[in-house]
A = this chain, B = another copy of it.
Amino acid sequence: MHERGPRRGRVVALAGGVGGARLIDGLAAVLPPEKLTAVVNTGDDFEHLNLYVAPDLDTVMYTLAGLAHPERGWGLADESFHALAMVERYGGQTWFQLGDRDLATHLHRTHLLRAGLRLTTVTERLCRALGVAHRVVPMADRPRRTMIETAGGRMLAFQDWLVRERAAPPVLGLSWQGTCEPAPEVLDAILEADLVIICPSNPYVSIDPILGLHRVRWALAGRKVIAVSPIVHGHAVKGPLAAMIESLAGRAPSAAAIAAHYGELLSGIVVESGDEADLELPALGTATVMGARDGRIRLAHDVLGFAETLS
């Protein structure tokens, strides 16, 4: 059921949550399973109620399985919250929304991890069970936690900052706790890739955690790498990115700021039509805001077509 056309090479897509998941969904409609590997940020992962929760992996998996909630940036479309209501009755933690079916993902994942399986293997099993044919690989098997530095040197784990504190405290710095080792499959996939797509995810907290892993920048060097800008007409499509560019890069949010952030790494960039100004690298202007499936597929085509124009 994949499109006929010029023979495509192998593609690796680096991604965080919603924006990344939607582009990967588009790519998965265009590329056969053996041609696409999604490498997903796990810097947002955390332990909650003794469950291992992997928000970005789940968003990518649910989106590829066609189960993701169409508007919310997390969780399942067909979902109930009976367990969470009961946790609330017990006076337990309810700041992180856990649906009943979503809870099963965390329970089963945690169970398999405690049984000794790698996160990569666990992710593969979960995806297979949900009928996801394309490969979804966590950036690392062991925890690598994104830490947010806020005023007064206060350090917050990512979900505490994003969800519990609603991304309100200004971000003064970022650091990572945990492993520097990528999952072996990450380097394997990049080293075999004809094209690496940096999805329209937050560069600081979705992509940099991947880029900061040992040998990932080395593996990417000299390879064809295209970013899709998550900044559209000076605004972030979703999430706290615009304010982070202002506080961390000291400049106004723009596609050019994204290009500058990735620097030498990029062979080209895909931006929203009209955002091509001040770009000093090959750029494609197109419609980058994805909603329903057809928009995702169209953008996937645009990105792959643009890649073919680059030497």
Majority secondary structure, A binding face? helix
For A85, the chain B residues whose CB sits under 8 A away are: 101, 104
Copies of this chain, complex-wide, total 2
Q: Which residue of B lies closest to A81 (CB)?
A: B100
For A91, the chain B residues whose CB sits under 8 A away are: 125, 129
How many chain A residues sit at the interface, stated as a range, is 20 to 34
Contact A108 B49 (CB under 8 A): yes
Q: Smallest Cβ distance from A136 to chain B, in angstroms?
A: 15
Q: Is A4 an interface residue (CB 8 A)?
A: no
CA–CA, A100 to B104, complex, Å? 10
Contact B92 A111 (CB under 8 A): yes
CA–CA, A103 to B126, complex, Å? 21
Contact A82 B100 (CB under 8 A): yes
In order of increasing CB-CB distance, the 10 nearest A-B pairs are A86-B104, A82-B100, A86-B101, A92-B108, A83-B104, A90-B108, A100-B100, A87-B104, A83-B100, A90-B129
Q: Is A84 an interface residue (CB 8 A)?
A: yes
Contact A80 B100 (CB under 8 A): yes
Contacts A49-B107, A92-B107 supplied; 11 other A-B pairs, CB < 8 Å: A49-B111, A50-B111, A82-B82, A82-B101, A82-B104, A86-B104, A87-B107, A87-B108, A90-B108, A92-B104, A92-B111
Q: Which residue of B lies closest to A79 (CB)?
A: B82
Residues in A lying within 8 Å of B, measured CB to CB: 49-51, 79-80, 82-87, 89-93, 100-101, 103-105, 107-108, 110-111, 114, 125-126, 129-130
For A101, the chain B residues whose CB sits under 8 A away are: 82-83, 85-86
Given contacts A110-B50, A111-B50, A114-B50, contact A105 B90 (CB under 8 A): yes
Contact B111 A84 (CB under 8 A): no
Q: Smallest Cβ distance from A159 to chain B, in angstroms?
A: 16
Contact B50 A89 (CB under 8 A): no
Q: Smallest Cβ distance from A68 to chain B, in angstroms?
A: 14
For A93, the chain B residues whose CB sits under 8 A away are: 111
- Interchain Cβ contacts under 8 Å between A and B, 29 examples: A49-B107, A49-B110, A49-B111, A50-B50, A50-B111, A50-B114, A79-B82, A80-B80, A80-B100, A82-B100, A82-B101, A83-B83, A84-B104, A85-B101, A86-B101, A86-B105, A87-B107, A89-B104, A89-B129, A90-B104, A90-B105, A90-B108, A90-B130, A91-B125, A91-B129, A92-B104, A92-B107, A92-B111, A93-B111
Q: Smallest Cβ distance from A241 to chain B, in angstroms?
A: 32
